[in-house]
Amino acid sequence: MLVPAYGIMAERLAIASALPVVYVATAHAGDAEMTRRIAGHRERRPHDWGLIEEPLLLAEVLARECTPDRCILVDCLTLWLTNWLMKTDESGLHDQTRALLAVVSRAPGRLIMVGNETSMGVVPLSELSRRFCDLAGVLHQDLAARCDRVVLTVAGLPLLLKGEPV
């Protein structure tokens, strides 16, 4: 299984924090391939990490779990966004996004969030895909404005966009 470099980078940052880690997984195993991916993530993560699986109510989890004495790793924001877009009623997406931004702004402790950059290639053909890219872009911009450090990982190499070097 190919493991995205940004996930590995996030896991390294969590380990380097020297804090107890809680991994917040937003993936939903909707098919056999995703089930295998999730299993690969579980096998790769340190066994002493906590795990919370939450595909939709991310802000509630962060409000409850972020404390000064632990590191929270969210993997991943774009899957969380996809989960909302795939619901027949996505009316909660905007409220949840506002809640997420509010929680991130005041979260104590170490919070590491993984998201995929989706707007550096061609414009997608479908309306849903274009909407996803637009929403992901706005989400990432809004989160970056609230974060102390922003790192873009390309080919396994960190490119510091904001904050202290990795």
SS3 assignment for 108-125: CCEEEEECCCCCCCCCCC
Residue with tokens 């579980």: 42
Alpha-carbon gap, residue 78 to 132, rounded angstroms = 9
Structure tokens at 7: 């996930």
Return the H-helix or E-strand segment holding 27. Answer: none
Cα separation of the two ends of the chain: 26
Q: What amino acid positions are annotated as catalytic residues?
A: 41
The C-alpha atoms of residue 154 and residue 150 are separated, in whole angstroms, by 13
Q: What is the 3-state secondary structure (H, E, C) of 75-107?
A: ECHHHHHHHHHCCCCCCHHHHHHHHHHHHHHHC
